[in-house]
Amino acid sequence: MINLLPTKEKEILLVEQTTKLAMIWGIIVLSGIVCLIFVLLAIYFYALGEIKSQSFYLQEAQRSYQSPDSATFKSVIQKYNKILPTVSSFYNDEKSFSEALNTIYAISRQEGVLFSSLSLDTTKQDTNKRGIVVSIIGTSVTRENLIFFQSNLLKEKTIENVFFSPESWINPQNTNFNVTFNLIEK
């Protein structure tokens, strides 16, 4: 095809063509910007809705934590948090109360010697010896039975510092006694 148009017409057509091309590109860029604005607005409104719902959940959680049940639960947790270090140190010290009870009940005693109370407490006497302080309250039918029990306590190698209260020896019959001693761990 031969272009017979005068140069002036050719320039006008070229200007119109570049104007149309610029308008098309402008519309494409503008529509992209408008779409981007709509996407950003959608994200903004979504985030705004999420913030509102999360603030509602936060307010509800704060109200529930301020309830009396929650306060009671918090005090229980704080009480047990105070007890936990003691329990942890108990397990770290590895005190074997069951072995201590076996040792105590393995000591022979007469039939009339009965324990009414038994108390075990941990102690550290020095850096090398760790033991358990044992306190026993009981009754004995006769003083001789109590003396037999005392002699068996003194014979035991893992028992030290046996002390009977003076009141334990007053009555010859139906004696109430109180004895404390240290049970040394092996």
Question: Looking at the predicted structure, is the pLDDT value of residue 183 above 90?
Answer: no
Residue 46 is assigned to a structural domain of this protein: no
Residue 173 is assigned to a structural domain of this protein: yes
Q: What's the rounded Cα separation, in Å, for the pair 62 and 112?
A: 64
Residue 64 is assigned to a structural domain of this protein: no
CA-angle at 15, arms to 12 and 21, nearest 5°: 140
% of the chain exceeding 70 in pLDDT = 90
How many alpha carbons fall within 13 Å on the CB side of residue 36? Answer: 6
Question: Looking at the predicted structure, is the pLDDT value of residue 127 above 60?
Answer: no
Q: What is the DSSP letter of 155?
A: H
**Residues 6 or more apart whose Cβ sits within 8 Å of residue 162:** 150, 153, 154, 179, 180, 181
**How many domains are there within the chain?**
1
Q: What's the rounded Cα separation, in Å, for the pair 82 and 128?
A: 29
Residue 40 is assigned to a structural domain of this protein: no
Q: Which residue has the higher pLDDT, 49 or 72?
A: 49
% of the chain exceeding 90 in pLDDT = 30
CB 104 within 8 A of CB 133: no
Residue 44 is assigned to a structural domain of this protein: no
Q: Which of 72, 99, 117, 71 is nearest to 158 (CA)?
A: 99
Structural Rg of the chain based on CA atoms: 46
Query: What CATH number corresponds to the domain at position 106?
Result: 3.30.70.60
Distances from the Cα of 52 to the Cαs of 46, 49, 58, in angstroms?
10, 5, 10
Residue 158 is assigned to a structural domain of this protein: yes
| Domain region containing 133 | 97-184
